[in-house]
Chains A and B, each alone.
Chain A
Amino acid sequence: MSQINAAPPAPAYVFRCFESGKDMTQIEELVRDAEVKAKPQSAAPKPAFMEEVDDDGPLYAARRAIYPQSVRGFFRNIKWAMLGITLGIYYLLPFVRWDRGPDAPSQAVLIDFPSRRFYFFFIELWPQEVYYLTGLLILAAIGLFLMNAVAGRIWCGYLCPQTVWTDLFYAIERFFEGDRREHMKSDAAPWTARKVAAKAGKHFTWLMVAWWTGGAWVLYFADAPTLVKDLATGNAPFTAYLWIGILTLTTYTFAGHMREQVCLYMCPWPRIQAALTDEYALNVTYRYDRGEPRYSVKKSEQLRAAGQPAGDCVDCLQCVHVCPTGIDIRAGSQLGCIQCGICIDACDRVMEKLGRPTGLIAYDTDLNIQARREGKPMSFHLIRWRTSLYAAIIAIAGGIMIYTLATRDSEGISVIHDRNPMYVQLSDGSVRNAYTIRIVNKQLKSREFILSVDGIPSTLIDYVGLPPRADGRQLITVGPDQTKEVRVMATDYSPTPPAPSTTVLFTLTDIDSGATAQMRDHFFGPASKK
């Protein structure tokens, strides 16, 4: 077991795979026995090298400095591409223009709090349509579940803002302080002007990136070019500076200093996602069926020459040195693993140099490891109940959202009946009800509507403070992208008194397009005399 001692001690947060039963009490023994009996027969015992986890460490562990080594390879390239795409979208999207005419902002993506509108390219949402946000959250959650069911925590590894910014900050760190070895050496060495300059340069660049991150954030809430000008001339609102300050601080702290600790201690996703994964999900896996027993290159070749078993893992620790969370993937699936696949690239480079097949670490399942051990073929189940269900939920939720967005009306009416008095008896015996009506015009042009009410005979609508046109028509003009409140009175002039309550239907008609919006309400009359 001398090879294992060469590896660094696993941190306390590594999952305990198996524990040797020293100093067990009687109760613990009973529990352990029950657990062993309850285990399904198919689950093979974990290999011996995974058992060495110190579970009696301190409750609070100081952070170990992590110096991830740079690496080249397929998954690293995907990560660079994702970094470029996601950060590119984040920093540049506010500057994308979208022509909405003179009465609306021309920013493609804008959350306009003062006028309570959300713009996303051709979509404009009003506050009462905030349920689309519910739909988005459902899509986001199920999308995450689906990713997890297909290939584990790839959200964490490639797309999470914490990962992306930390990756960028590591790149900056390497630019100023060098790769792993150089950086470690410099950190251990006494302070020199050169070291101070490198550190200062790094922190300054970090702060600039962080500041830019905060700056881009506020651009989503106001016209970007105007706000940039105002920020530059010092005329921007205080809130803008405050939020830039807050996001500069959080970005600098989280991506520069806290890094993997955010994932390990602060983030709920690792816990939730661990509960969502299953035996078919492709997780970053050390194929210990191939790798064990591990020996140095020299020793393994000697053993192989002698016909003794020797695995492909040469214990070079490259997978540990490149890991951004500082874990040893060979200890198995664990909380600290964000499934970024960087260790796959590192291991592949080593295997290539040694002339051994790549893929000693790969996106794979424990089931396949067992299958290979037993000489059975590997199997991949991308389409299964879980993934099909997630895909169906995404399709249904997305379909409903698209359908409702495409068919929603651009005009609306809401009616509030007067509460006091419920009805008014006029001197000639007719009965009048008053309503407050709010008319919604979601189009970007001014529109004219005509209002009618059905359900009671001999009705007349009077508009408070809204004189009729010269031609006698009573039209209600609603400005572009606005609402208008009108108080109207409906009077029943029929000789017979109306029922205590009659259902009436208000119809709003756009006189140009003929589009209508309807709302039901009630017309109240005197209670029948007993």
Chain B
Amino acid sequence: MADEHKEIDAVTGTATTGHDWDGIRELNTPLPRWWLWTFYITIVWAIGYWVVYPAWPLITGSTEGITAWHARSAVVDDLAELKVQRGPLMDKLAEASLPEIAGSPQLLDFARAQGRVAFADNCAPCHGAGGGGAKGYANLNDDDWLWGGKIGDIEQTIRFGVRSAHDKTRAGNMPPFTGVLKANEVSAVADFARSLSGLPAEKGVDLDLGKKLFAENCAACHGDAGKGNRELGAPNLTDKIWLYASDKATIEQGILQGRGAVMPVWEGRLSEPVIKALAVYVYTFGGGEK
């Protein structure tokens, strides 16, 4: 069979493949040797791959290769290596008290770096990527704190959550006043609350009634002057910062339905150094109190 392909092309003197298309014949030009050898080397290289790495699919799994390399175990190894690298500083972070961390530039930098990542993973969905907050979720950058803005207060809030199932949780509810206050009374209290921070009242609303009702119903938690109470998480109503919003409808809604935003417990879910790092990170957003 090979013989019939030995036809020699008259012009070039090269053997042909015997293929003929409308009188055009294909020359049997050999591949360049360098190309051929490169090809052979790649084949040998591929065999090396089968030996070293997982390659051939089996019924369950695949051949392992002498290195038994696996993408998943490689990640685990990398993480373990990272843990070893971070080890000394993580130990320091776990041992140091919060003021000690804040006082040491090296620990502060490390804690902030750790905190930044942990914040993005765990806190940002509610509080925003930079802790800017949203309606009902506190802005962590400002200087108004429901439960206290000292670094220890922040840590406690992170650790035990707000209105969570933990025994040491931050607790205290704004109860609903539906059925307790009449519509005009709700309107009067709402406008009185707004007036505490200098916001204007609606025309025809009796602010004196509001003041009286506030003293009877609200002052227990929010204080006689409306300055709030951090023990109960009752917000200061005299400042410019509103967790929900400052418009009257939102305030009336809060009075009628009550408020009780929750924050989960992080103790047990995050490691000790990470909780500390988060506290430091949130503290250095800029709102932290001395």
Which A residues are closer than 8 A to B by beta carbons?
60, 418-422, 424-429, 432, 434, 462, 464-465, 487, 489
Contact = CB atoms under 8 A, between A and B. Distances in A.
Contact of B286 (A419, A427, A464): A464
Interface string B128-145: 111111000001011110
B208 interface: no
Question: Which of B102, B144, B239, B286 has most A Cβ within 10 Å?
Answer: B286
Given A425-B142, A426-B143, A427-B241, A465 B284 contact: yes
Interface stretch (B104-112, B171-179, B271-279): B104-112
Contact of B130 (A421, A464, A465, A489): A421
Given A420-B129, A427-B236, 13 more contacts: A419-B130, A420-B130, A421-B130, A421-B131, A421-B141, A425-B240, A426-B241, A427-B240, A427-B241, A432-B142, A464-B284, A465-B102, A465-B105
Given A419-B129, A434-B286, A465-B105, A427 B141 contact: no
B61 interface: no
A287 to B, nearest CB: 39
15 contacts: A418-B130, A419-B129, A420-B128, A420-B129, A420-B130, A426-B143, A426-B144, A426-B240, A427-B143, A427-B144, A432-B141, A434-B141, A434-B285, A464-B286, A465-B112
B41 to A, nearest CB: 15
B57 interface: no
B129 A465 contact: no
Given A434-B286, A465-B284, A489-B286, A421 B132 contact: yes
B32 interface: yes
A427 B142 contact: yes
Given A425-B241, A426-B142, A428-B240, A462 B286 contact: yes
A314 B144 CA distance: 102
Contacts of A420: 128-132
A491 to B, nearest CB: 9
Interface in B222-271: 236, 239-241
Main SS of the interface on chain B?
loop
A427 B226 CA distance: 14
Nearest to B104: A465
A425 B142 CA distance: 6
Nearest to A418: B130
Contacts, number: 58
Contacts of A489: 286
Interface residues of B, number: 25
B102 to A, nearest CB: 7
Given A465-B105, A489-B286, A427 B239 contact: yes
Interface of B: 32, 102, 105, 108-109, 112, 128-133, 139, 141-144, 236, 239-241, 284-287
B189 to A, nearest CB: 22
A477 to B, nearest CB: 11
A60 B285 CA distance: 71
B13 to A, nearest CB: 10
A424 to B, nearest CB: 4
B276 to A, nearest CB: 15
Contacts of B241: 425-427
Contacts of A421: 128, 130-133, 139, 141
Nearest to B285: A434
A3 to B, nearest CB: 30
B239 A424 contact: no
Nearest to B280: A465
Nearest to A58: B12
A418 B132 CA distance: 10
A434 B141 CA distance: 9
A26 B142 CA distance: 89
A428 B241 CA distance: 9
Nearest to B129: A420
B32 A60 contact: yes
Contacts of A418: 130
Contact of B108 (A419, A424, A465): A465
A422 B141 CA distance: 11
A429 B241 CA distance: 8
Contact of B142 (A419, A422, A424, A465): A424
Nearest to B102: A465
8 A-B pairs with the lowest CB-CB distances in the bound complex, closest first: A421-B132, A427-B239, A420-B130, A424-B141, A429-B240, A427-B144, A420-B129, A420-B132
Nearest to B141: A424
Nearest to A421: B132
A419 B128 CA distance: 10
A432 B142 CA distance: 9
Nearest to B128: A420
Contacts of A422: 132
A341 B250 CA distance: 91
A427 B105 CA distance: 29
A462 B286 CA distance: 8
A59 to B, nearest CB: 8
B286 A424 contact: yes
Contacts of A432: 141-142, 286
Nearest to A60: B32
A426 B286 CA distance: 11
Contacts of B236: 427
Nearest to A419: B130
A133 to B, nearest CB: 32
Contacts of A419: 129-130
A277 B131 CA distance: 65
Contacts of A487: 284
B48 to A, nearest CB: 18
Contacts of B128: 420-421
A32 B194 CA distance: 96
Question: Which of A60, A421, A489 has most B Cβ within 10 Å?
Answer: A421
Contacts of B239: 427-428
B215 to A, nearest CB: 23
Contacts of A425: 142, 240-241
B14 to A, nearest CB: 10
Nearest to A59: B29
Contacts of B130: 418-421
Contacts of A464: 284, 286
B223 to A, nearest CB: 15
A422 B239 CA distance: 20
A427 B241 CA distance: 6
A482 B32 CA distance: 55
Contacts of B143: 426-427
Contacts of A427: 142-144, 236, 239-241
